[in-house]
Amino acid sequence: MGAATLPTGSPSRRPLWFALGAVGVLLVVALIVVLVVWRGGAGTPSGSDTLPGTRPTPSATAEPLAVASAAPTASAPAGPHPATCEAIYSPAMMATFSETRSLNPSWSSDPQAAMQAGTQDSELASMIQSAEHLTCIWGSEGGGSDSGLTTNVVFVTPEQSEAAHQRLNALGQSCYEELGGIRCVMESTTEGEGTSGESHFLRDGIWLATHYVNAGPDGYTHDMVGTVWAGA
């Protein structure tokens, strides 16, 4: 009889196949994990690999810009603001004028009455009429005569004051600094008609414009300045 032959797949080799199979499974699982990790990392762009057309997300909210406040509007200087003609004269000047003339006699309220402006220049007169002003007329109670005086107290802006000053210079009036402001004067004498002239004073948003004919005591403008700016 021949020797006995061992059957294929004998129990002695089964543990080896099981071990090799387990190792293979572990290798496949490990390979799958590596592939998943590698593809996951490749799908996330770095800071320098931002795709074209994408918009980066800001890291912080921008602070609102401060809005500059509007510049202050220019206005007339805060100076004296007499409301009546009586408020621009000293008691002594009121008494002197009242001896021979009346302040704002009834006829002077007529818009067509003469001597409504403290100047004979039409351009200056237009400037006076276009601004807030008082009109103070010293004249005869019975009507117009060959003597009288008109003063306009005009409240002006710095620009209007400078425009009046330039116009007075252009007219050839003598202008100079006096009493904290600008004084401009002119006077003429005509045979048979007497003396006429103008006196202008500009200071702190006020323009004192005076036109006179055979009237006006010495120190008239100085008296108004001392009264309007009393204590200044």
* pLDDT tens figures, 184-217: 999 998 877 789 999 999 999 999 999 999 987 7
Q: Could you tell me which of 152, 160, 11, 162 has the C-alpha nearest to residue 88?
A: 152
Q: What CATH number is associated with residue 151?
A: 3.40.1000
For the four alpha carbons of 44, 46, 47 and 51, in that order, the dihedral sign comes to: negative
Better-scored residue on pLDDT, 230 or 48 = 230
* pLDDT tens figures, 13-55: 444 434 445 445 455 444 454 444 444 444 444 443 333 443 4
Is residue 74, in this structure, part of any structural domain at all? no
Is residue 70, in this structure, part of any structural domain at all? no
Q: Which domain range does residue 133 map to?
A: 85-228
Is residue 65, in this structure, part of any structural domain at all? no
Is residue 171, in this structure, part of any structural domain at all? yes
Residues ≥6 apart with Cβ < 8 Å to 103:
85, 86, 94, 97, 136, 137, 138
> Total domain count for the chain?
1
Determine contact, residues 197/212, Cβ cutoff 8 Å.
yes
**Mean pLDDT along residues 101-111:** 87
